[in-house]
Amino acid sequence: MIEYVVPENIDDRVVAKAARILKAGGLVALPTDTSWALVCSMRSKEGIKRMRRLSGERDERRFTLLCSDVSQFGAVCSIDNRRFRLIKKLSPGPYVFVLQTLHGTDKLLSLRRCELGVRIPDNAVPCAVVDALGAPLYSITAKRSMARRPGGGGAPDVGAPEGGGGGVEEPPPIPEDELFEGGWELEDIDGLDLILDGGEDMPLRLSTILDLTDDEARVIRQGAGVFPL
């Protein structure tokens, strides 16, 4: 279940294995520049369904699209030159950018809101997986409560919550003691198909969330990323 990777010299065979699992609707845990993430392919309806069921989350504000290049944002979200410059300045890094979605993105990711969080983590592992898969990763922060639910989250309705409009709200906080440190700890999460472990404990921190849906950038969660600069 665990494959060890060296971020500075990633084994292409391990990344290819992760990509095959994701294409088949599987779930993978991997490190980012903040905490551990659970990911599936954004193109896999089965993967998204499985991840929402495993996580127990119905609040789509908890989910983020991991990309390896800013150009990938434009395929799913509306991004003008001003927003592009800010994102380019802060990426890669511990920032989630909430943007308005393009028509069709909501159906692709089963969203009921017209906003989506996107980011480029400053970690070579998720970026390599994105490139091998040929598609961004739909992700959620790995939490210890997921390991305490036998058989996964068990949420009866895997759809996102009703709502939308009125601006982006801050998602409920995730306590620090809910975050994982070592990759081996994630083996307790029932339903994971693969863990990519860089061999080092992850920091117990979260990303900074910036709402870019209005004219001015607004911090809706202050995390590891400094803002304003």
Q: What confidence score (pLDDT) does residue 149 get? A: 61
**Percent of all residues in the chain with a pLDDT value above 90, rounded to a whole number:** 76
Q: Residue 57: which residues within 8 A CB-CB, separation 6 or more? A: 63, 140, 153, 155
* Count of C-beta atoms within a 10 Å radius of residue 51: 27
What is the CATH architecture assignment of 2-157+175-221?
Alpha-Beta Complex (3.90)
Low-confidence ranges of the chain (pLDDT < 50): 154-166
Q: What confidence score (pLDDT) does residue 62 get? A: 87
Dist CA 19 CA 134 (whole Å): 9
Q: What confidence score (pLDDT) does residue 151 get? A: 53
Residue matched to tokens 């193109």: 43
H/E run at residue 49: helix 45-55
Closest CA to 50 of 203, 187, 193, 226: 193
Q: What confidence score (pLDDT) does residue 155 get? A: 41
* Count of C-beta atoms within a 10 Å radius of residue 163: 12
Closest CA to 181 of 144, 222, 128: 144
Q: What confidence score (pLDDT) does residue 160 get? A: 38
Amino acid in the structure at residue 64: T
Sheet containing strand 95-100, strands side by side: 2-4, 194-197, 28-30, 37-41, 137-141, 63-66, 115-119, 95-100, 208-211, 218-221
